[in-house]
Amino acid sequence: MGAPRLSSTPLPGIGVRYDLTTREHRRLSVIAHRDGPRTISAYREDDPDACAMSVRLTAEEAATLIDALMPAHHNPNLLSTTGLGLVAERIELTAASRWNGRLLGETRMRTETGASIVAVLRRAEAIPSPTPDFRLAGGDTLIVIGTREGVETAAAILGRE
């Protein structure tokens, strides 16, 4: 099995279509529209000429998707992993979150999970080392560092509504 090959077909007036046939003989294509958007399509197995799914992405959406498709990248929220078994993740509080308007101390995060909230991102500013009397709000992004299990539990706690 050779290296995967991306073949291209010009679509005059629209852009270029790039085709990829996977190792499992499934076909995928990406249309690069001249004005920026991308259309990603997967083909039907009973009618290989037709698309089973065809989704149009804006330039930003395509960039986000590429990020997730990078083989080196294992989790879109992941900041970094270390050899010490610690992970750091960005966890967002929704507007419907139980913690919206409550104090950070009320989550009893460090006691329950051993994970630390090292910073809070709120709109354009970052609040480093928030204290237990820090008041959380919906839309905050918390940076949590801990063991894999600790961070998972933290995500579950922070996800409560």
Partner 1 sequence: MHSSAVFLIEFGCIILVLGLLGRFAGRFRFSPIPLYLLAGLAFGNGGLLPLGSSEEFVAIGAEIGVILLLLMLGLEYTASDLVTNLKTHYPAGLVDALLNALPGAALALLLGWGPVAAVVLAGVTWVSSSGVIAKVLGDLGRLGNRETPTVLSILVLEDLSMAVYLPILTALLAGTGLASGSVTLAIALGAAALVLVLAVRYGRHISRFVSSDDPEKLLLVVLGLTLLIAGLAQQLHVSAAVGAFLVGIALSGEVADGAHSLLAPLRDLFAAVFFVFFGLNTDPASIPPVLLSALALAAVTACTKIATGYWAAKRAGIAAKGRWRAGGALVARGEFSIVIAGLAVAAGVEPSLGPLATAYVLILVLLGPLTARYTEPLATRLLRHRRAQLAAKPDDTTPLTASAHETISDQDAVGHA
3-state helix, strand, coil in the chain (%, to 5): 20, 40, 40
Q: Is 151 in the site for partner 1 (CB under 8 A)?
A: no
Q: Does 65 bind partner 1 (CB under 8 A)?
A: no
H or E element at residue 109: helix 109-113
Q: Which span sits near partner 1 by CB under 8 A: 11-19, 57-65, 114-122, 141-149? A: 11-19
Check residue 34 for interaction with partner 1 (CB under 8 A).
yes
Stretch that binds partner 1, among 38-46, 64-72, 117-125, 137-145 (CB under 8 A): 38-46
Positive or negative: CA dihedral 54, 1, 68, 70: negative
48 touches partner 1 (CB under 8 A): yes
Among 14, 59, 63, 78, binds partner 1 (CB under 8 A): 14
Mapping DSSP to helix (H, G, I), strand (E, B) and coil, where does residue 95 land?
coil
Using the contact rule CB under 8 A, the part of the chain among 3-11, 96-104, 111-119, 140-148 near partner 1 is 3-11
- Work out whether 62 is an interface residue with partner 1 (CB under 8 A): no
**What span, in angstroms and rounded, lies between the C-alpha atoms of 79 and 126?**
15
The pairing of beta strand 141-147 with beta strand 86-92:
antiparallel
